[in-house]
Amino acid sequence: MHEISLLKNVREILEEHAISEKFSKVIKVTLEIGKLSSVEPDALRFGFDVVMKDSLAENAELLISELNGLGLCQQCGQQVELETSYDPCPHCDSPFIKVIQGAEMKIKDLSVI
Ligand SMILES: [Zn+2]
């Protein structure tokens, strides 16, 4: 499951931040998931407790905020909302749309002590 490796990545980032920002426990993590990132929120929730076990984020609360996909049409220059990376432009039907938002997952917010 590709969510597990993403979560391991998150855990590593948290551990690095704990050293540089001198905190010892994570209470709450907010992850922002782009709708085009092919990350399943349910799979993340499922994997979170498993991956964070025995880390500074063990028992932390996970919040997930979803970010809409946005693209820029390379033909007519309009900004369009995307449900998938393959949507054509609703204005001119062009398939050439550059994704400008929603393809990534990132840590949006952290509560730590
Ligand atoms: Zn267009």
DSSP letter for each residue of 30-45: EEEEETTS---HHHHH
Q: Ligand 1 centroid vs 81 CA: distance in angstroms? A: 11
In this predicted structure, what is the pLDDT of residue 103? 94
Give the global pTM: 0.85
Q: What is the C-alpha radius of gyration for the chain, rounded to an integer number of angstroms?
A: 17
In this predicted structure, what is the pLDDT of residue 1? 64
pLDDT along the chain (113 residues), means of 10: 90 96 96 93 94 97 96 97 93 96 95 95
In this predicted structure, what is the pLDDT of residue 85? 87
Q: Ligand 1 centroid vs 105 CA: distance in angstroms? A: 26
- The C-alpha atoms of residue 113 and residue 109 are separated, in whole angstroms, by 14
Name the residues around ion ligand 1, CB cutoff 5 A: 73, 75-76, 89, 91-92, 94
Domains of the chain plus CATH, in order, are 2-112 (3.30.2320.80)
In this predicted structure, what is the pLDDT of residue 113? 93
CB atoms within 10 A of CB 98: 9
Q: Ligand 1 centroid vs 78 CA: distance in angstroms? A: 6
In this predicted structure, what is the pLDDT of residue 89? 97
